[in-house]
Structure 1
Amino acid sequence: MAETVVIIGAGYAGIGTAHKLLKYTTPKVKDLKVILISPSTHHYWNIAAVRGVLPGEIADEELFHAIQTGFDKYSKDAFEFILGTATGIDTASNSVQVDVASDAKTIIYTQLVIATGSSYPGQLPFTTVGTYEDSLGALHSLQRKVTDAKSIVIAGAGPTGVETAAELGYEYGELKQITLIIGGDAPLPVLRPDVGKTAAMELERLQVKILHGVRVASLDKHGDQVYITLSDGQRVEADLFLPLYGMRPNTRFVPTQLLDEQGSLNLDKTLRVTGLDNVWSAGDAGNLEPKQLIYAERQALHLADNLNSVLIGNPEGVKELKPAVTPQVFVTLGKKKGTGQYNWVKVPSFIVNAAKGKTLFTEKASGLIAGKNIVRSSI
């Protein structure tokens, strides 16, 4: 029987899973076809978005890479790239509904992988925003706003908020007023306290003002100005406001009974969607592990191995993934400093800078497209 694996989402997990299946499973399974669906012709190397939103820092060509070029080496019978947006799935009929150039199309699958990632509110270009043209336009628009702004407020105590504030402080600390709003006593609250303390000290050295223990209560826009009312009643004015919190999985097309209260797919440890034998997920769309790239990377490789076992007729080869119980996070603090935690250990600044801070892994992007690696792991 012909097998069709449909992968929705061409981010790190989706591309990685597709390449691994095509490289290692297709030669063993006759009539196997992999279909990759994405609204964007290009993959966005958004690890580097925290620096990329600053004008002139990273070229567009280092951030955006054409997806199809990496798959041209495979047979057309084995691979198809569909430029479109998934609008629904029907697990009873094993079908996906896709909007392709404003026309509805139904695609039948035998195995389905949902790897649609997550995004911030407000269409901020820290993740893919619709089509390639949409993402590129949103990025360029934000770069212009960064240039024009004299005051920039970032809300969010997680890695993206902290890294963005640090990049802005590194470049503009003496020229613009940069403010970071955090809900607790220190940034990076899920990590060791000394990691958050290090981040706060470096941010302050970069002349980033930190507002502790407050949250955004409401926003008012008057012309180009944003007025932010905080939970303590304080009002902050900004030329540019970046709400880098409240990340949501991109699962609006998925039936609600498959989702948890946060909108993430309910997964078991094999990376199957709970209650379904032939629907899987990797990366931020699922709820097995924190929504970070290091986990999406290992999930994609594990999922591809499990799919390989199913497709070659060896279901007992499907293995459970042991979810991470301790954080593994590298946080850049501008171009020369960093901090982080690996399991229980605080990571020194020089290691974070050497491993991530200098390039934000942009040199790995071509390898992902070509099917050589995801980020740090080989495919």
Structure 2
Amino acid sequence: MKKRIIIAGFGDTGLLVAVHLKKHYDIIGISAKPCLVSGQELGTRLTQPETWKQNYLMRFGRYRHLDGVKTIHGTIETVDAHTQAVTVKLADGSNVVETYDILVIASGVTNGFWRNNRLQSLDDIESGLTQAASQLSNADKVAIIGGGATGVSVASNVKELHPGKRVHLFYSQSQPLPGYHPRVRSRIEQRLKTQGVQLHPYHRAEIPDGFTCEDFTNSPLEWSSGQQTFHADLTLWAVGKLTPNSGFVPEDMLNEKGFVNADEYLRVPGYNNVFTVGDIAASDPNRSSARNAGFMTVAHNIAAVLEGKPKTMKRFKATRFRWGSILGVQKEGMRVFTPQGFSVRVPRSIVKTVLFPFFVRRVIYRGVNAEK
């Protein structure tokens, strides 16, 4: 009888763990969504929602290596590590209990309306995409709070597609993109200036009491850093107010901020059969196992444990600096920045004909069926 692996959270990372383990194990994926809803590329998600959906919103049934994988549309209520069981609240309100040999916690974080753990239908997700894009499109003066990759991506993409809009980017440091290589920060800063984005360094917004930063606002902006009140038609809050989706995780598995503790093998200390990966995992200062092939490390180490070869487990290797595309697909293609501060430009024609259809769908996800 095959060993059973439960993956708590079926976003990009959790799904990839399943893809790489499905052949030899019985896998159950638990997701608050009935499909993959990527948290990547908010800039293109808001400015080109139909194009974004082609690559970042996909029904689980389209992934060939999920054939035979059981997906449960629901949210995990509790984990009982002693009995090796999870209780799941289904979309219809009923509960179901599933047991495991290995548990993978890949439940991610809540960070604005684009990354959340709310139980949603496909109609809910698609209507939300349309509504957010429409709100942004109808605003003439846009304020974006936060200089991370999300805020920068939105500012650049809005200005690129709507050059007549007044776009203001506010951030607390001297340059945007903290955590990225200095060369990357300077290069993107210059691009934003060239595009006409108004940059406002050293601004720290006052977040209204009780506000979770999950909605657009249009109220005057106040600054704890002392600047004058700012008025915009629409404000996007991308302040990095991350809330780990860990309410179901036993407290002894969590650090003081609510993220899941991870050792060098992405295993939860004290639990030989519990692993964690992605934004929820406290793997390194940047919690970077969502990148850097964290899913491959977890998949390899799970197989090592289940095959009785724990000494063959691999250590997760984090990079010093964050890396990635940052801005998504542009007119000239996609530029991917490396941890060393350099970049590689993939021409738009190659993005459309090779990068997504071949490298992403066939190599990384090991095959995706065409939409029916």
Indicate the TM-score class for this superposition, using the shorter chain for normalisation. Answer: 0.7 to 0.9
Q: Which of 192, 202, 205 in structure 1 is aligned with 2:194?
A: 205
Deviation by residue 1:286-329 (Cα, 9 ceiling, x = unmatched): 0113245x744611111111111122222222232233334434
Kindly indicate whether the alpha-carbon contact (under 8 Å) linking 1:152 and 1:238 is maintained by their aligned counterparts in 2.
yes
Flag the 1:73–1:327 CA change in 2: closer, same or farther, 3 A: closer
The RMSD of aligned alpha carbons is 3.1
Kindly indicate whether the alpha-carbon contact (under 8 Å) linking 1:165 and 1:208 is maintained by their aligned counterparts in 2.
yes
SS in 1 for 2:230: strand
- 128-137 vs 271-280, greater mean Cα deviation: 128-137
SS in 1 for 2:222: strand
Flag the 1:82–1:120 CA change in 2: closer, same or farther, 3 A: same
Number of the residue aligned with 1:310: 305
Query: Counterparts of 1:26-105 in structure 2 under 5 Å?
Result: 26=24, 32-55=25-48, 58=51, 60-70=53-63, 74-75=67-68, 79-100=69-90, 101-105=92-96
Q: CA deviation at 1:234?
A: 2.0
Q: CA deviation at 1:138?
A: 1.9
- 92-101 vs 223-232, greater mean Cα deviation: 223-232
Q: CA deviation at 1:276?
A: 0.8
Q: CA deviation at 1:191?
A: 2.6
Gapped runs of 5+ residues in structure 2? none
Q: Which of 224, 231, 239 in structure 1 is aligned with 2:233?
A: 239
Sequence identity, in percent?
A: 22
TM-score under structure 1 length normalisation: 0.83
Q: Which amino acid aligns with 1:107?
A: E
Is 2:125 aligned against 1:135?
yes
Flag the 1:48–1:158 CA change in 2: closer, same or farther, 3 A: closer
Number of the residue aligned with 1:328: 323
Q: CA deviation at 1:230?
A: 1.3
Query: Counterparts of 1:140-155 in structure 2 under 5 Å?
Result: 140-155=130-145
Is 2:280 aligned against 1:285?
yes
Query: Counterparts of 1:104-143 in structure 2 under 5 Å?
Result: 104-121=95-112, 124-125=113-114, 130-131=119-120, 132-143=122-133
Question: Which structure features the higher share of strand residues?
Answer: 1
Deviation by residue 1:7-40 (Cα, 9 ceiling, x = unmatched): 11111211111111113xx1xxxxx421111121
Number of the residue aligned with 1:6: 6
Deviation by residue 1:67-126 (Cα, 9 ceiling, x = unmatched): 033258744xxx3111111122121221111111201111111110011122313xx125
Could you tell me how far apart the structure 1 residues matched to 2:40 and 2:349 are?
Answer: 10
Could you tell me how far apart the structure 2 residues matched to 1:13 and 1:197 are?
Answer: 30
Could you tell me how far apart the structure 1 residues matched to 2:49 and 2:7 are?
Answer: 34
Q: CA deviation at 1:165?
A: 0.8
Kindly indicate whether the alpha-carbon contact (under 8 Å) linking 2:333 and 2:351 is maintained by their aligned counterparts in 1.
no
Number of the residue aligned with 1:342: 338
Kindly indicate whether the alpha-carbon contact (under 8 Å) linking 1:6 and 1:36 is maintained by their aligned counterparts in 2.
yes
Could you tell me how far apart the structure 1 residues matched to 2:318 and 2:48 are?
Answer: 38
Could you tell me how far apart the structure 2 residues matched to 1:347 and 1:355 are?
Answer: 19
